[in-house]
Amino acid sequence: MKTESPSPSPAQSRTISAVVVEDDNSIRSILKSWLEEADGFTCAAVFPDVESALPQIPRIKPDVAIVDINLPGLSGIECVRQLKPATPGTQFVMLTVYEDSTHIFDALSAGATGYLVKTTSREALIAALKEVHGGGSPMSGNIARKVVQQLHQPKPTIPATDELSKRENEVLALLAQGYLYKEIAEALGIRLDTVNTYIRRIYEKLQVHSRSQAIAKYLKQPV
């Protein structure tokens, strides 16, 4: 199935490149126009389903991918799960009608970095894409509250992440609270490159490939 792709221009070479995976023709066209009209963005491609996106996104290597969950054939969550290991530099943002905890944490576990509802305005969406490109994890208000509520649930005395060292658990807890790497370094009084080393070890020990997967594993600890 062919994709709809705008012609690139030299002026866009340093912009944030984005792709869209959305089956609704109207919504797909709107998202494409929003990206093309936004300063600092380029729409590298749009796809109507996961099957057409899977072989193309690793080749395009976009900075950001906007993915719907309810798609014909494979789901958007499965799309992220398959593509994240192949394109670790791409940040996946779910744009969906689902606001339940199951979809939220399944998406985060798969490797999504952001989770927005489809009522998100153009301005808020563009701001969220800039945030995720800068290292943040944007979420719509209701979604963020669900994540915070999960974070506030009591954790076991011996954490499920007991394969991590005490310092690694501290780093992971701050990641789950939304701290950026620089803020973790400041909070713990360590160097930024030391934070990067801890995070690499956390990924290896938890067998995950992204910040969001590590957070999802942390949030799903038994209580």
> DSSP for 15-41?
SEEEEEE-S-HHHHHHHHHHHHHSTTE
Domain-embedded: residue 209: yes
User: Which pLDDT band holds residue 40 (cuts at 50, 70, 90)?
Assistant: very high
Give the three-class secondary structure for 42.
strand
CA triplet 103, 17, 39: central angle to 5 degrees? 105
Domain-embedded: residue 2: no
Q: What is the pLDDT of residue 38?
A: 95
User: What digits encode the pLDDT tens for the residues 5-15?
Assistant: 444 443 334 69
Last residue of a domain, one of 127, 148, 169: 148
Q: What is the pLDDT of residue 7?
A: 45
Q: What is the pLDDT of residue 169?
A: 86
User: What digits encode the pLDDT tens for the residues 166-219?
Assistant: 888 888 888 887 778 888 888 888 888 888 889 888 888 888 877 778 877 777
Structure tokens at 72: 């014909």
Q: Which residues pair with 45 in a beta bridge?
A: 19
Q: Are residues 114 and 130 in the same domain?
A: yes
Q: Are residues 167 and 126 in the same domain?
A: no
| 8 Å CB contact between 171 and 141 | no
| CATH at residue 167 | 1.10.10.10
Q: What is the DSSP string of 48-76?
A: SSHHHHTTTHHHH--SEEEE-SS-SSS-H
Q: Are residues 163 and 200 in the same domain?
A: yes
Pick from 63, 76, 77, 62: which is nearest to 23 by CA? Answer: 76
Q: Which domain holds residue 111?
A: 10-148
Q: Which residues pair with 21 in a beta bridge?
A: 47, 67
The number of folded domains in the chain is 2
Last residue of a domain, one of 96, 122, 148: 148
- Check pLDDT > 90 for residue 79: yes
User: What digits encode the pLDDT tens for the residues 89-146?
Assistant: 999 999 988 877 778 888 888 888 888 989 999 999 999 999 899 888 888 766 766 6
Query: Which residues neighbour 170 within 8 Å (Cβ) at sequence distance 6 or greater?
Result: 188
Q: What is the DSSP string of 88-150?
A: TTPEEEEEES--SHHHHHHHHHHT--EEEETT--HHHHHHHHHHHHTT---B-HHHHHHHHHH
Q: Are residues 17 and 90 in the same domain?
A: yes
| CATH at residue 64 | 3.40.50.2300
Q: Are residues 110 and 29 in the same domain?
A: yes
Q: What is the pLDDT of residue 223?
A: 36
- Check pLDDT > 90 for residue 55: yes
Run of H or E including 201: helix 192-206
Q: What is the pLDDT of residue 159?
A: 47
Q: Are residues 126 and 84 in the same domain?
A: yes
- Check pLDDT > 70 for residue 165: yes
Domain-embedded: residue 144: yes
Domain-embedded: residue 4: no
Q: Are residues 19 and 64 in the same domain?
A: yes
